Amino acid sequence: MAEVPTLLGGRYEVGELLGRGGMAEVHKGFDTRLGRPIAIKMLRSDLARDKTFIHRFQREAQSAASLNHASIVAVYDHGEDHAYTESGGSTINIPYIVMEYVDGRTLREVLTEEKQLDPTEAIRVTESVLDALAYSHRQGIVHRDIKPANVMVADDGSIKVMDFGIARAMADANATVTATSAVIGTAQYLSPEQAQGQSVDARSDLYSAGCMLFELVTGRPPFLGDSPVAIAYQHVGEAPVPPSRFAEDVPPDLDAVVLHALEKPREARYQDAAEFRTDLQAVRLGRPVSAAARASAAGLAGAAAAGTVLGAEATQALPRNDLAAAAAAADQTAAYQMPEAPVPPPPPDTSEHPLYDDEPRRGRGAYVALAVAVLAALGLLAFGLVNYFGTDEVPTVAVPSVVGQPRQTAEVNLARAGFTVDAVVAADDEVPEGQVISQTPEGGVQAPRNSTVRITVSGGPDNVQVPDLRGRSLDEATQLLDDLGLAVGEVTDVDDPDAAEDEVISSDPASGTDVKPGTRIALEVGTGQVEVPNVVGMSQNEAQRELADANLTVETEYQQTGDADEGTVISQDPKGKEKVDTGSTVKIVIAQKEAPTVTPTTVTPSPTESPSPSPSGSPSPSATGD
């Protein structure tokens, strides 16, 4: 492989290798113009002559550059640079993408080290990923490959999603392909529609996010197998196991959210990222999750109890060869697919029996069915007898009033009165955190002993965290604040060489601050202009550096003069203190020494010899000079 260029575009220094993928390498770099660390993704040199890969790489740059969100790794620039010359004389140009450098680890590295995350931390990470997906989906971009390796966890705890808009061109050990050999994702996080070669949409990303959340809380993906095809088969036709089966600290509501995200038909799962995030937030705050999530959990539980199999119809869309391979591997992964569900009996033999066989033999399934029918009949009989003869009246007691009490005190008082307690937490700006806001049934009402009393406990004010708005356009910042229940306050225009017009420079309160819903956030935004520094009298190097720091382009001329030191700026256009658009050209004139004055040389003719005296003895005219 050719040597990597040390300077790209005359601006970006290429440093150490950070990672290598199927079609590109990522290096740490440095932007010499803006003086900041960056990450540089370069197309592998052995693929740089393939137009297909080059076009895909360019599409990635264009897709990612259109996304500007705090939870998405930013793309600053892209281009191509000469890498090397082949022996035949042809040159190879290497496309590259300049990205934000995130100082941290991928979520895959975190999982490798910690095995699994606490449910609360897993929810926090997934909420940030869903924020990024909600934004990208609004821009019409589907990620297609959400997985832990594409999520960065920065050292400050922030979450960044990488590799938006990538059309993968090479498969690795975990890649699943269609019949046309086009890579469509990573097997462990593949949506059923991707596995079947169908078109994808935003809901496909949400299924992958559900797979990732499953792995965050359990330490393993929802489906495992010996090959990508076997795993894809399970995504299409096998019911997922609740995460709590592998991690006891997963609450039932989180089970419901994950199972709803992993619904096979895309119409049955979450329809947008905001809906998914709202349910996760409800789990984190102790509130009830959506009825749709609870219905998914109940439906899967019912399917397990009835021993139903999802794959009979769903797997028909898989290619025949892949289906056979998946079926062969299914036995090896059965331990992870609803172990409590009974295996359905084989279909009855409908072939014609020989004439000498007086009665067909009953299989084990027939006796099981008969036993179930008998038990069902006995149950119905018992139900009818109870309704006919009546039952003893259940004793009731007065429900104690616990509104305003601390949660622990309220639970003790209700338990002493003979009730079961179901507590939920809800935000409240008036009731102190930990105190009971309301109860059902209300205090003083007669209720059956051992029945359930539901209490709602205050979780304190439902504060909202101000997002990082730096680098966003004013319209994007306004939309994001509106999505969070916040509003834009005073907008101040600031001349900043590093900010485009209407690009947010800072916010007040600053990002990360907890504020109440409805708070107005003041913003400083760029004007797209900059004040030209006065560089007259500076040396050429000082002037060029000063103008470059102001994000201005320099045009240089030279003029001979004796009125200024050589190499200093004697004039500029535009003049200092004038405002111009960022990136404008400033013409500077540099003093040069005047050329030395050349004095003309006077040539004196050599003297002429005197002629002989005339006979008269008088001098000749030439001698006298007359």
> DSSP letters along 330-380, please?
HHHHGGGS-TTSPPPPPPP--SPPPTT--SPPPPHHHHHHHHHHHHHHHHH
Q: If pLDDT is split at 50, 70 and 90, which confidence band does 33 have?
A: confident
**Mean pLDDT, rounded, of the chain:** 77
Of the options 3.40.50.300, 3.40.50.1860, 3.30.10.20, 3.20.10.10, the CATH number for the domain spanning 464-527: 3.30.10.20
Q: Give yes or no for a contact between 522 and 489, defined as CB atoms under 8 angstroms apart.
A: yes
Report the CATH fold assignment for 104-336: Transferase(Phosphotransferase); domain 1 (1.10.510)
Most confident of 59-63, 409-413, 459-463: 409-413
Indicate whether 342 pLDDT > 50: no
Residue 145 is a catalytic residue: yes
Per the residue annotation, which of 31, 46, 50, 145 is the catalytic one?
A: 145
Query: Which pLDDT belongs to residue 325?
Result: 38
Task: Evaluate if residue 583 carries a pLDDT over 90.
Answer: no
As a whole number, mean pLDDT of residues 165-190 equals 46
pLDDT value of residue 463: 74
Residue 227 pLDDT: 80
Give the range among 135-144, 317-326, 363-372 with minimum mean pLDDT: 317-326
Taking only Cα atoms into account, the Rg of the chain, rounded to an integer number of angstroms, comes to 39
Cα torsion for 41, 47, 49, 55, to the nearest 10°? -60
Please answer whether residues 264 and 296 qualify as being in contact, where contact means their C-beta atoms are separated by less than 8 angstroms: no
Provide long-range contacts, Cβ within 8 A and 24+ apart, for 324-331: 325/227, 325/229, 325/230, 326/225, 326/229, 326/230, 326/232, 326/233, 326/234, 327/233, 328/230, 329/225, 329/226, 329/227, 329/229, 329/230, 329/233, 330/225, 330/230, 330/233, 330/234, 330/238
Residue 608 has pLDDT above 60, yes or no: no
The CATH architecture assigned to 531-592 reads 2-Layer Sandwich (3.30)
Alpha-carbon distance of 104 to 82, in angstroms, equals 31
* pLDDT at res. 206: 96
pLDDT of residue 394: 58
Q: What is the pLDDT of residue 428?
A: 76
Distance CA 230, CA 311 (A): 13
Q: What is the pLDDT at residue 283?
A: 93
Q: Pick the residue with more confidence: 3 or 439?
A: 439
- Decide if pLDDT at 192 tops 50: yes
Q: What is the pLDDT of residue 281?
A: 92
Phi-psi region of 307 (alpha: psi -120 to 50; beta: other; left: phi over 0): left
CATH, range 7-100: 3.30.200.20
The tens digit of pLDDT for each residue in 207-240 reads 999 999 999 999 999 998 888 888 888 898 888 9
> What would the CATH number be for the domain defined by 398-458?
3.30.10.20
Higher-confidence residue: 186 or 456?
Answer: 456
Percent of the chain exceeding pLDDT 90 equals 30
pLDDT value of position 165:
47
pLDDT at residue 139 tops 60 = yes
The listed range with the strongest mean pLDDT (46-55, 146-155, 297-306, 337-346) is 146-155
pLDDT for 391 equals 44
Model confidence at 601, in pLDDT bands (50, 70, 90)?
low
Going by pLDDT thresholds of 50, 70 and 90, the confidence category of residue 317 is: very low
Is residue 313 pLDDT above 70, yes or no? no
Q: Please state the pTM of the whole predicted model.
A: 0.49
Q: How confident is the model at residue 404 (pLDDT cuts 50, 70, 90)?
A: very high
The larger pLDDT score, comparing residue 156 to residue 281, is at 281
Give CA–CA dist 404/458, Å, rounded: 10
Residue tagged 């030209």 (tokens): 532
Range among 332-341, 418-427, 536-545, 599-608 with highest mean pLDDT value: 536-545
CA proximity to 52, closest of 157, 170, 158, 165:
170
Task: Kindly list the domain boundaries of the chain, sorted by start residue.
Answer: 7-100, 104-336, 398-458, 464-527, 531-592
Give yes or no for a contact between 447 and 396, defined as CB atoms under 8 angstroms apart. Answer: yes
Mean pLDDT of 304-326: 44
Do 464-527 and 531-592 show the same overall fold? yes
pLDDT, average across residues 333-344: 32
